[in-house]
Amino acid sequence: MSYTMNVLEKVKKQNPNEPEFLQAVTETLVSLKPYVDSRPEYEKAGILERLCEPERVILFRVPWVDDSGKVHVNKGYRVQFNSAIGPYKGGLRFHPSVSLSIIKFLGFEQVLKNSLTGLPIGGGKGGSDFDPKGKSDREVMAFCQSFMTELYRHIGEDTDVPAGDIGVGEREIGILYGQYKRIVNSFSSVLTGKGLSYGGSLVRCEATGYGLVYLLDEMLRQHGNSIEDKTVVISGSGNVAIYAAEKVRQLGGKPVALSDSNGFVYDPEGIDISIVKEIKEKNRCRISEYTKYRKHAVYTEGRGIWSIKCDIALPCATQNELTEEDAKELVKNGCFAVCEGANMPSTPEAIHVFLQNKILYVPGKASNAGGVAVSALEMSQNAMRLAWPLEKADQKLKEIMTNIYNNIANTAKEVGQEDNFVVGANIAGFKKVADAMLRQGIV
Ligand code: NDP
């Protein structure tokens, strides 16, 4: 058996109860196989074994008291995956589905994603099975303060810099930051996604969604096409989905659908972003509310968003939300491009359908890297004690996403797999991390 497949078998044996983690590792190692197996220096230095094992896993108890005085205990996680090219960097996810497997898959993907940004950031991820939905502001504060009371000792501006993810937006980052500062008595860049009044960067809030569409735009341009007049279906209705939809609109495309975990809304005239912001960001309500504002829009309970006819699909909700059947439906309906805003939203079978049908498919580790890229820019601005104007931050984001596209497209071409951006992203992300690991000895 080849070196790569040997490592994969070992990882499967060692982590039998972590399906999402094994899914992410399998997808990556299978596509790295020809590249890695033809370079014996990687095997000699045990690069893959080390790449697949986090440097550190921190598990902790998060006790907090609800509004009725009842004590709750949630699980807290921080997985510090790989620091070969910079301090650990990656978001915190608060969602009831969070498990060690999910945090490890996200951390593993983050290592390669952060490498693709071209910035000096390693990979990590964290979170909790706490569900902020339906909690009062005081309960969210109680939870976040308790979470940080343990996390603070493991992070630092040169060690590990968390940010937001599902269930962790500006409100949560603000409270986490306040508690960190209170404990350590230091105003440092220990979290990103901060509010603009206390060290946040312009465009961070929009960065993942905007970055996704910048990369899509560049890919279409290089294929003699554009976003203009294209119908776009976007899943989710959180941070990534909202700003992806906004940028699609700005570039002349028409986003026609958004969703949440309850159902999806279809607006054939094009989603009105200001209404979505009001429903989701201001009122923290469900996407079904949209039809109260736009009478001709249709809300459907349950799955099914991928059956809407579109030219471009942008999955921006969560892992494994787009199945083989969904992929076949998209292809049948004429969809020609899929760029992932979420992490690992397409199942392996769905990816197979996209590649077989020559869909322009870009995996999340490349296409959703805009968020972490602007987070790294936030760290730079904090270190310099200055704040860039909007144009500069936005321009940087655009440059980074264009570079990522060129990097993954050129890498795919170099290995004879033109337009296979799965292979391109995995090899391009891996090369830089592996090279740093080779030079740093066996650590
Ligand atoms: P938010 O919490 O802002 O929004 C998440 C959205 O996805 C909500 O609409 C939510 O619906 C929906 N969703 C979550 N879980 C499920 C589920 N099991 N089934 C169906 N819908 C679901 O998160 P973000 O927008 O920040 O994150 C979305 C995705 O993008 C995630 O995969 C995240 O890892 C990825 N990402 C985020 C980055 C960022 O900067 N924020 C950076 C890079 C990637 P509901 O409200 O019903 O739960």
Find out whether the beta carbon of 165 lies less than 6 Å from any atom of ligand 1: yes
The three-class DSSP label of residue 318 is coil
Which atom of ligand 1 is nearest to 193's Cα?
40
Please tell me the distance from the alpha carbon of residue 96 to that of residue 99, in angstroms, as a whole number: 9
Q: Which of 105, 75, 74 is nearest to 90 (CA)?
A: 105
Is 108 in contact with 95 (CB distance < 8 Å)? no
pLDDT at residue 282, rounded to an integer: 87
Please enumerate in sequence order all residues whose Cβ is within 8 A of that of 292, keeping only pairs 6 or more positions apart, or say none.
none
**pLDDT per position in the chain (443 positions), as tens?**
999 999 999 999 999 999 999 999 999 999 999 999 999 999 999 999 999 999 999 999 999 999 999 999 999 999 999 999 999 999 999 999 999 999 999 999 999 999 999 999 999 999 999 999 999 999 999 999 999 999 999 999 999 999 999 999 999 999 999 999 999 999 999 999 999 999 999 999 999 999 999 999 999 999 999 999 999 999 999 999 999 999 999 999 999 999 999 999 999 999 999 999 999 988 889 999 999 999 999 999 999 999 999 999 999 999 999 999 999 999 999 999 999 999 999 999 999 999 999 999 999 999 999 999 999 999 999 999 999 999 999 999 999 999 999 999 999 999 999 999 999 999 999 999 999 999 999 99
Instruction: Return the residue whose CA atom lies nearest to atom 31 of ligand 1.
Output: 342
Which atom of ligand 1 is nearest to 259's Cα?
9
pLDDT at residue 226, rounded to an integer: 98
Find out whether the beta carbon of 342 lies less than 6 Å from any atom of ligand 1: yes
Query: Backbone dihedral region of 422: left (phi > 0), alpha (psi from -120 to 50 degrees) or beta?
Result: alpha
Instruction: Return the residue whose CA atom lies nearest to atom 17 of ligand 1.
Output: 261
Distance 161 CA to ligand 1 centre (A): 20
Instruction: Return the residue whose CA atom lies nearest to atom 41 of ligand 1.
Output: 165
> Is residue 88 exposed (0-12), middle (13-18) or buried (19+ Cβ within 10 Å)?
buried
In the chain, ranges of CATH 3.40.50.720 domains = 207-367
CA 347 to chain centre: 16
Find out whether the beta carbon of 317 lies less than 6 Å from any atom of ligand 1: yes
Which atom of ligand 1 is nearest to 319's Cα?
32
Residue 398 appears among annotated catalytic residues: no
Asked whether the CA dihedral 201, 204, 206, 209 is positive or negative, the reply is: positive
pLDDT at residue 180, rounded to an integer: 98
Annotated catalytic residue within 89, 104, 113, 125: 125
Instruction: Return the residue whose CA atom lies nearest to atom 47 of ligand 1.
Output: 261
Distance 290 CA to ligand 1 centre (A): 18
Find out whether the beta carbon of 167 lies less than 6 Å from any atom of ligand 1: yes
Report CA-CA distances (Å) from 165 to 95, 106, 186.
Answer: 10, 10, 24
Q: Where are the alpha helices (DSSP H) in 385-420?
A: 390-414
Find out whether the beta carbon of 122 lies less than 6 Å from any atom of ligand 1: no
Please tell me the distance from the alpha carbon of residue 109 to that of residue 318, in angstroms, as a whole number: 14
In the chain, ranges of CATH 3.40.50.10860 domains = 54-187
Find out whether the beta carbon of 258 lies less than 6 Å from any atom of ligand 1: no
Distance 149 CA to ligand 1 centre (A): 25
- Domain 54-187 falls in which CATH fold? Rossmann fold (3.40.50)
Q: Which of 241, 243, 284 is nearest to 264 (CA)?
A: 241
Length of the chain, in residues:
443
Distance 132 CA to ligand 1 centre (A): 13
Q: Return the residue matching tokens 């706490």.
A: 130
CATH superfamily placement of domain 207-367? NAD(P)-binding Rossmann-like Domain (3.40.50.720)
Which atom of ligand 1 is nearest to 93's Cα?
34
Beta strand 88-94 pairing with 254-259: unpaired
Find out whether the beta carbon of 394 lies less than 6 Å from any atom of ligand 1: no
Distance 181 CA to ligand 1 centre (A): 27
pTM: 0.98
Q: Return the residue matching tokens 């890229």.
A: 373
Condensed to tens digits (0 to 9), the pLDDT of residues 209-255 reads 999 999 999 999 999 999 999 999 999 999 999 999 999 999 999 99
Condensed to tens digits (0 to 9), the pLDDT of residues 249-298 reads 999 999 999 999 999 999 999 999 999 999 998 888 999 999 999 999 99
Distance 238 CA to ligand 1 centre (A): 6
Distance 138 CA to ligand 1 centre (A): 23
